[in-house]
Amino acid sequence: MKEKLYLTDDIAIVNFDLAYPTSLEELVSSNTLSNFTMNYLEYLNKEDKEFYNWIVNGKSAREANVEVGKVFRQLMVLKPAEIESYYLNDKDKLLAFASGLYDFWKCHQRYSVTINRFSGMSTTPFVVGDSNFNATIRSTYRKITQSIIGKKNNVYRQLQAGTNAAIACFNSAPKLGAKYSLLNEILYIESVMLRTPMILQPKSNKRSGMFTEVKENPIEGFVGNADEFFCYPAKVGALLINVYFHRDFMSSGAALANLFELATPDEVKKKPDAIVLFGSKDGKNETNFFYDEEEDMYVGCISYDERIEYFGYMKKMTLTLHNCVMMRRNWLPIHGAFINVTLKDGKRKGIMLMGDSGAGKSESIEALKTVGKAEIKNVEIVFDDMGTVHVEDGVPYAQGTEIGAFIRLDDLDAGTPYRDMDRSIFFNPDSSNARVITPAAPYSVVASNHKIDLFCYANNYDTIEGMRKITDVNEAKPIFIEGKRMAKGTTQEVGISTTYFANPFGPMQQQEICDPIIDEMFDALYSNGTYIGEIFTHLGLDKENRSGIHIAAKELLKFIEKN
């Protein structure tokens, strides 16, 4: 990124390698602050003409910017009475301007990026640097406003005045053929620091459309360069997937740190199993993926569009590619949740629930925690959205993909989102389909084998209560394969819908590959005595009434206690 400050209507990215104030005086005198103030003046010109006219005072915006900057620099060392300035004739308005500028900065999603500046420091260098930047912004604001008022504040609020997240990057060309040379100079993310709880307000809060497999490699139409893109090298289960994203979607790119384990510089030296091109300005408005036989690698591409600010686009494309790779390895992708439940008497069971978005997978787990509070010692989350089943020596095992959970707030008990809010990222918490990404499991747990004791389809549309065991594999498989559910508004779908194997992220597009794997896995599950059936969540029937899901959770607890 060549700019000192990259700025849009809602994003601000500071390049610490080119612009890093080491003191309050340096910040107030910087071109970066001056340029940002110009943006604020342009904003006032549109939103508050009267106030704008007072600020410019018959001058051009640029001339007014110079004059205001001069006053701010003088206020760092002098008292207002010692300064001769038009702006100090109305201190209330000058205070309003300083406060408005500060608020305008805080209204942006703010990030810092560095590759070189802090390389010589000994411990967590970019974190220390970003924290100092945070303190400098806050102290500068306090110094100026207190000088205008003429007294110190009585109440201090330690706001996140600097950035929402900090990113340290490094250079490393991917181990790919010449056709991918456009990606060679794009910086990899090495470390991420999130200021949590992090509250983001993307313009979109719902995913629409499908991920389509195509016959032409998206890299051929990719539009992007090293100044505009970053790469998050994600460890998705056992795979390495490089997610290349446009800086306008930095909120989604940074949020990946709460969802997927970040690969190390040594790990990114190997060829990735898949790559995602997120925010390509190709003008196609497409979400598609392609299998590159020559590289033995999947390539996903999502065209630049305002709607893809919804984090689900980045997450689900990444998981779609993961699922396609794993099916080629004869592993079965599961759109669901898996937990290991340990009771206080020592019993331990591996519980796997499957269903499409809104079926009640996460909600069933939360309900189980509630109804089993007295009996349950520990709940270990292996995956909360996507995992796999594979067979080793005749035994089926589950593995996960994510170290975090991307959960819909609407369907959780009121207190649940706040238990880990100090480590969480919230998306549009004031809107329907509000979401939170919260840490769920260490990568060592996610990428390990886990025994499956129960495998149930999450049925959110039938009025039956509790759970139902299905002893006939020929009765069970069609239920899972049909993927029936009552849509709840998390996508463009409404009413009853069906999705092949409840998984539109790979299996649906590649049914001919998935069919024989389903047969093999179900045979292995039944041969090993796994409880297979349905759990009735009722979530598609009545959002407000939680009794159905609690009845089902009690039945699930009984299974764990008695088996």
The Cα–Cα gap between 522 and 354 comes to 13
The Cα–Cα gap between 401 and 404 comes to 9
Q: In this predicted model, what pLDDT tens digit does every residue of 202-244 receive, in sequence order?
A: 988 888 888 999 999 999 999 999 999 999 999 999 999 999 9
Q: Looking at domain 167-328, does it have CATH number 3.40.50?
A: no
480, two tokens: 């899972």
Extract the runs of DSSP E, i.e. beta strands, from 67-180.
Answer: 109-114, 165-170
539 — pLDDT class (breaks 50, 70, 90): confident
Residues near 136 by Cβ (< 8 Å), separated by ≥ 6?
21, 22, 23, 24, 27, 162
The pLDDT, as a whole number, for residue 1 is 82
Q: Is 322 helix (H, G, I), strand (E, B) or coil?
A: helix
% helix, strand, coil for the chain, step of 5 = 35, 25, 35
CB atoms within 10 A of CB 297: 21
Question: Closest Cα partner for 307 from 205, 211, 423?
Answer: 205
- ∠ CA 495-501-333 to the nearest 5 degrees? 130
300, two tokens: 């996903």
Burial 370-407 (b: 16+ CB within 10 A, else e): bbbeeebeeebbbbbbbbbbbbeeeebbbbbbbbbbbb
Question: Closest Cα partner for 173 from 294, 270, 277?
Answer: 270
CATH topology of domain 332-403+440-562: Phosphoenolpyruvate Carboxykinase; domain 3 (3.90.228)
Question: Closest Cα partner for 184 from 275, 57, 248?
Answer: 275
Q: In this predicted model, what pLDDT tens digit does every residue of 39-59 receive, in sequence order?
A: 999 999 999 999 999 999 999
492 — pLDDT class (breaks 50, 70, 90): low
Dihedral angle sign, alpha carbons of residues 484, 490, 491, 495 = positive
The pLDDT, as a whole number, for residue 527 is 97
Q: What is the mean pLDDT of the chain?
A: 92
Q: Is a pLDDT exceeding 50 seen at residue 122?
A: no
154 — pLDDT class (breaks 50, 70, 90): confident
The Cα–Cα gap between 291 and 274 comes to 9
Q: What are phi and psi of 149, to 5 degrees?
A: -70, -35
Q: Where are the alpha helices (DSSP H) in 449-502?
A: 473-482
Average pLDDT over residues 417-435: 83
43, two tokens: 């904003």
In order, the DSSP letters of 287-303 are: EEEEEETTTTEEEEEEE
Q: In this predicted model, what pLDDT tens digit does every residue of 285-330 receive, in sequence order?
A: 999 999 999 999 999 999 999 999 999 999 999 999 999 999 999 9
What single-letter amino acid sits at 500? Answer: Y
Q: In this predicted model, what pLDDT tens digit does every residue of 509-531 receive, in sequence order?
A: 999 999 999 999 999 999 999 99
Q: Is 67 helix (H, G, I), strand (E, B) or coil?
A: helix
Average pLDDT over residues 475-492: 83
CB atoms within 10 A of CB 439: 17
The pLDDT, as a whole number, for residue 494 is 65
In order, the DSSP letters of 227-291 are: TTEEEEEEEETTEEEEEEEEGGGHHHHHHGGGTSEEPPTTGGGSPPSEEEEEEE--S---EEEEE
- Residue boundaries of the structural domains of the chain: 5-163, 167-328, 332-403+440-562
Average pLDDT over residues 475-497: 82
The Cα–Cα gap between 316 and 506 comes to 10
Cβ atoms of 150 and 81 closer than 8 Å: no
Q: Is a pLDDT exceeding 50 seen at residue 350?
A: yes
Burial 313-333 (b: 16+ CB within 10 A, else e): bbbbbbbbbbbbbbbeeebbb
- Most confident range, picked from 300-314, 423-437, 481-495: 300-314
Q: In this predicted model, what pLDDT tens digit does every residue of 243-252 receive, in sequence order?
A: 999 999 999 9
More confident residue, 420 or 425: 425
From first CA to last CA, the distance across the chain in angstroms is: 58
Q: Which H/E stretch holds residue 199? A: strand 198-200
The pLDDT, as a whole number, for residue 409 is 78
Dihedral angle sign, alpha carbons of residues 48, 52, 58, 60 = negative
- 169 burial (CB, 10 Å; 0-12 / 13-18 / 19+) is buried
Q: In this predicted model, what pLDDT tens digit does every residue of 434-482 receive, in sequence order?
A: 899 988 899 999 999 999 999 999 999 999 999 999 999 999 999 999 9
